Structure 1
């Protein structure tokens, strides 16, 4: 019993501490509103630490990942189809979330709708070309280090990683430096997140003290919508993907062998912890080892349906809080781009969801007041997001098998129809 309790706190301890901090902050804000102005600096310090860390963290995470790709391992068609499947399913999840938010909008508490920051204002004489150039590039290197130019910075990091990877033996020391620095920055983020319960608790005390109890009703609707939509996507869309891969046999195999991975994802709240169970379930679903051993490990980092959906919800919540229209075409296209980028980058970073939120806030130039809201949403949707992230990898592997190796690949072992998870 003690071992089970220890195992539970190992996986959920940080989330429980964060929720405890938010709860205590809410109580202080509700019953002692005069004290919240003294607590807000604690939240500001925490957010400033995150902002200071996000630039070097993203740089080393992206550059080291690209620089250390093994060019000798070209898996050809499997890799190409895998990239298309990952991108396609992540975008489908995001678009479904946008549609759901369109039909079930959320209204912010009136006091929360503050004027947007100066970063949101643009020159009315700008053409779309001017905006595009300014969005993806800068004219001076030092400007890359500002979070106002986050997308340009990400593109530069990718290009630098490619250059390091192409430099061969001459760049070996630089690639080792990138990998070493990436590990150091991960540890720095872990240290900063130790004070997240205090920082977010202080900020939430300030929000409750200034906005009032209406704040709780505001969070309830997007959270309820996410869990309902997540369950719908899990049952309907995953079944559809399995059917596309292998017809009724594919649906049957997927669901009979997806019980243990789903339970593991819920109990551990970790995609990485679910990966071994996914690999064990893959052959019972008819997925060839050549596909499973590539798609599932890479999918653990790069393929995140649940994170895609939560990213859209968090962007929407931030826009609602500042009174800005989320459904403008350019805003939606940017949201889809951020969703794909977060899905790729955040998987290899501890507490990567928070870095995704920093990226989102920076790209849109949103005020820092929106950050605690999206962090709270991200924390509360984490269990459902993990289930969608982790179990989506096996159904993605089924699709890759179908389109990379042929439509009869998953039908090759008919005896699997009578097998279950051992």
Structure 2
């Protein structure tokens, strides 16, 4: 019981806050006006922290990578595997949402205008606006978050290129990254109160239909997530290893899956993934690179939930999700979110802030995507954590290395 509370305590507190907020919104609506400022304070703290947090997290990570030039081929293949399979996860989620829409419970009269769909801005101008700004001061606005992320990557690369001359700068951004992580942990301590207050506001505003709205995407996520887990991971294992691949993968993926479920932590699952990789026969030169980096950069569960959150937000606001420009942008954001959010505590929330900023979503949509992220976290963790092993299998295959499984795992 203590282990469960330790590993799932934050999720349970968030669910408790959401539940209490629902009760207040339904039975004590007069309290909502007093509670909503608490939700606003929580969200404002998140928005204030996101700019320095992203800068120090990204630039310090890039600047402090050692010896990448020696592993260029593996890193290159790994990057291609990560990008393609994450895109597959995102696109198949779009297809699932198109075939099984989950927004039928919402009142279309509550729709508000989509600022990205004004009919006046060309696709080329949108790309320029997403990726760049005209002056430095504009980078510090969350409305320019993608341009800021690119700038942070470039600073990290420049710090690496500066070599010994940048040692003091590298120490500074590394230390600042640790400080900002602690700041985020402090802010997230009030998440149950902040989200509970906002949920009370939503329940008062939208009524009981809100519960059906959250239930439908959650059910879709768990059904589709399980199908993706078993079907696509088996396909990847087959591509990597041949007809014996799915059997040897699933035989050795049981312990990592149970570890991910019981700890709700990708990081805690990494040791069992490394053991599984060894038993599968993945060369240590590949496993020791792909699995630790994949723990931070490669998240199938987050990719699926990212698309679902964007869809939920659009549905809540009455916007059309199935526009090709929206879908392309959503897939791009999803790929970026899985990279940016991985090494940050409660990084899913930062990914949500990134998504909200890019689309210019109003405050009404913010709690929706956060709550969805909380509800799907257990299965998302399993997909995130155990996907690292099957990705390492694919890298082994495309790097033309040999699998050398342990004797008792040869089928």
TM-score, length of structure 2 as denominator length = 0.96
C-alpha separation in 1, matches of 2:234 and 2:299: 17
C-alpha change, 1:223 and 1:209, in structure 2 (3 Å) is same
Is 1:173 the equivalent of 2:168?
A: yes
For 1:305 and 1:313, the matched residues in 2 are separated by 13
Maintained 8 Å contact 1:249/1:417: no
Q: What's the counterpart of residue 237 of structure 2? A: 242
State the Cα distance separating 1:376 from its structure 2 match.
0.3
Cα separation, 1, equivalents of 2:299 and 2:126: 29
Distance in 1, Cα, partners of 2:68 & 2:23: 57
CA distance in 2, matches of 1:208, 1:114: 17
Partner SS, residue 134 of structure 2: coil
Greater Cα offset, 71-80 or 170-179: 71-80
Measure the CA separation in 2 of the matches of 1:60 and 1:122.
Answer: 35
> Structure 2: how far apart are the matches of 1:325 and 1:357?
19
**Structure 1 residues 209-267: Cα deviation after superposition (integer angstroms, max 9, x where no partner):** 11111100011111000000000011111111111111122111111111110000000
Q: Does the CA contact (< 8 Å) of 2:60 and 2:177 recur in 1? A: yes
Q: Does 1:417 align with 2:406?
A: no
- What is the rounded CA distance, in whole Å, between the counterparts of 2:36 and 2:27 in structure 1? 16
Structure 1 173/403 Cα, relative in aligned 2: closer, same or farther at 3 Å? Answer: same
Per-residue deviation, residues 312-363 of structure 1 (Å, max 9, x unmatched): 0001000111111111111111111111111111110000000000000000
Q: Which residue of structure 1 lines up, in the alignment, with residue 29 of structure 2?
A: 33
Instruction: Please name the residue that 2:110 is paired with.
Output: 113
Contact 2:59 2:152 in 1 (8 A): yes
SS in 1 for 2:243: helix
The offset of 1:417, in angstroms, is 3.2
Cα distance between partner residues in 1 of 2:159 and 2:213? 47
2: CA distance, partners of 1:214 / 1:331: 26
User: Are the equivalent residues in 2 in contact too, given 1:85–1:399 (CA < 8 A)?
Assistant: yes
What is the CA-CA distance between 1:73 and the residue it aligns to?
A: 4.9
Q: TM-score, normalised by structure 1?
A: 0.94
CA distance in 2, matches of 1:268, 1:144: 37
In the TM superposition, structure 1's runs of 4+ consecutive aligned residues that sit over 6 Å from their partners are none
- After superposition, the C-alpha distances for 1:27-47 in whole angstroms (9 at most, x for unaligned) are 111111122111111111111
Q: Does 1:390 align with 2:385?
A: yes
Aligned mates of 2:359, 2:350 — CA distance in 1: 14
Correspondence for 2:70: 74
Q: Distance in 1 between matches of 2:63 and 2:39?
A: 36
In structure 1, C-alpha distance between the alignment counterparts of 2:390 and 2:109, rounded to whole Å: 41
For structure 1, which runs of at least 5 residues remain unmatched after alignment? Answer: none
CA contact (8 A) 1:269 1:383 kept: yes
1:95 pairs with one of 82, 87, 91: 91
Residue number in structure 1 paired with 2:6: 10
Residues paired across the two proteins, number: 410
Alpha-carbon offset, residue 369 of structure 1 = 1.2
SS at match of 2:321: coil
Whether the 8 Å contact between 2:301 and 2:384 is mirrored in structure 1 is yes
Residues 242-391 of structure 1 mapped to structure 2, 5 A cutoff: 242-391=237-386
Gaps of 5+ in 2: none
Take 1:139 and 1:6, find their aligned partners in 2: how far apart are those partners?
53
Contact 1:60–1:178 (8 Å) recurs in 2 = yes
Q: CA deviation at 1:159?
A: 1.0
Decide whether the 8 Å contact of 2:280 with 2:405 is kept in 1: no
Q: 1:63 to 1:191 in 2, by over 3 A?
A: same
Once the two structures are superposed, residues 24-83 of structure 1 have per-residue CA deviations (whole angstroms, 9 ceiling, x without a partner) of: 110111111122111111111111111111111111111111111224652132111111
Displacement after TM superposition at 1:128 (Å): 3.4
Contact 1:304 1:390 in 2 (8 A): yes
